[in-house]
Amino acid sequence: MLLVNGANQTNVDISDRGLQYGDGLFETIAIRNNFPLFFQEHLQRLTEGCSRLKIPTPDLQVLSSEAQQLCQHKNEAVLKIIITRGSGGRGYKQPETLSPTRILSLHPFPVFPKNYPLHGIHARFCQTPLGINPALAGIKHLNRLEQVMARAEWQDDGIQEGLMQDVNGNLIEGTMSNLFWVKNGQLFTPALINTGVAGIIRKLVIMLSSQHGMSVQEQNLTQTQLLAADEIFVCNSIIGIWPVIRLADHDFAIGSKTRQIQTWLDELAHETYQTSQ
C-alpha cells in the first residue's frame, strides 16, 4: 500500500531529487493494533529534519490522516514515510519554489526467527566507517550508502546487527539501530554530534531512564572499551530493545538495567495506545 502526495501510485518521477541526490529524509514507524507507535515523536523528528535540510515541512494533519488511512485494520506492520525536496532545480541548485514529495508506504512487520528482545542477539563490528559531518549528524536523511555497505559485510544469519565506528574509531551505532551499554551501574550511549542517526527509541530510553533517576551519559568509546561493558543493547522503532549477548567472540549477560528499560518502554507503548483510543 502506497500513497505518493496522497495518490495511489507505486512510482516517482526520475527527476525527483530524492533519487537524483538522496535529497530528503525518512521515518520508519511500527504499527501495532492499527496504531502508529510514537507517531508524535516521529513527526517531531521529521519536522526538525526538514528544518535542518530547509525542506518545507509537510502539513502534519495531512500526514497523520494519510498514516491513519494506511494503518487501519493493520494489526502489525511497518509504515515508512519519505519526504524529498521534490523535482526541479538545476543540478544541485534547488528551484525557487519547492514542491516536496511525500511518500507513505506500508510493509509487513519483519518476522524474526527468535524472540530477540527476550533472548538477545549476536552482533559484530563493521569495517565500513561512518563519515563525520556535524551539518548532517542526527538527521535520518536519505544518504545511507554507509549503512548499505556496512550491512553488506556479513551474510551469516546468526548475526543480527553490525556496529559501526566513525572514521576516528569512535563506536557510534548499529547499521539500523542505536547503541547503549552499562558499565559499573552507569548507562551510556555514544554522542551523535558528528555523525549518526538520532533514533526515536534512543530518545525515549534517555527520557525514561532520566524520569526514573537513571541518568544516561553520552560518551565516545572504542571497540575495546565496549567489549569490557557489563550490558549492551541496541534499539530502534521496529525492533524495540535487543540485548546483545555475543559480540566479537565475547559473551554478555542480559543485565537488570536492560530488562528494566525494556519494561519501561513496553509500559510507555501501552500507555500510548490507550491514550490514543
> Is 246 among the residues that bind its own copies (CB under 8 A)?
no
Question: How many CB atoms are located within 10 Å of the residue 93 CB?
Answer: 8
> Is 76 among the residues that bind its own copies (CB under 8 A)?
no
Nearer to its own copies, 156 or 251 (CB): 156
- Contacting range for its own copies; rule: CB under 8 A; set: 148-156, 215-223, 225-233, 246-254: 148-156
Cα distances from 154 to residues 114, 126, 148, in angstroms, run: 19, 9, 11
Contacts of 132 (CB under 8 A, 6+ apart): 166, 167, 168, 194, 195
- Is 140 one of the annotated active-site residues of the chain? yes
CA distance from start to end of the chain: 24
> Is 240 among the residues that bind its own copies (CB under 8 A)?
no
Residue among 1, 5, 12, 32 that touches its own copies (CB under 8 A)? 12
| Contact letters for its own copies, residues 183-222 (x by CB under 8 A) | -----------xx---------------------------
Residue among 1, 22, 47, 246 that touches its own copies (CB under 8 A)? 22
Residues 155-184 that bind its own copies (CB under 8 A): 167, 175-176
Can you name the residues that pair with 35 across neighbouring β-strands?
32
> Is 57 among the residues that bind its own copies (CB under 8 A)?
no
C-alpha cell belonging to residue 104 = 507513505
> Is 257 among the residues that bind its own copies (CB under 8 A)?
no
- Is 114 one of the annotated active-site residues of the chain? no
95 secondary structure, DSSP code = P
Can you name the residues that pair with 164 across neighbouring β-strands?
173
Contacts of 114 (CB under 8 A, 6+ apart): none
Q: How far is the CB of 90 from its own copies (least distance, A)?
A: 7
Contacts of 206 (CB under 8 A, 6+ apart): 189, 216
Name the active-site residue from 41, 161, 173, 231: 173
CA 259 to chain centre: 21
- Is 173 one of the annotated active-site residues of the chain? yes
Q: How far apart are CA 126 and CA 129, in angstroms?
A: 8
Question: How many CB atoms are located within 10 Å of the residue 155 CB?
Answer: 6
Residues 124-143 that bind its own copies (CB under 8 A): 128-136, 141-143
> Is 18 among the residues that bind its own copies (CB under 8 A)?
yes
Catalytic positions are: 28, 140, 173
**Contacting residues toward its own copies, per CB under 8 A:** 2, 4, 10-23, 26, 53-54, 82, 84-85, 90-94, 103, 105, 110, 128-136, 141-152, 167, 175-176, 194-195
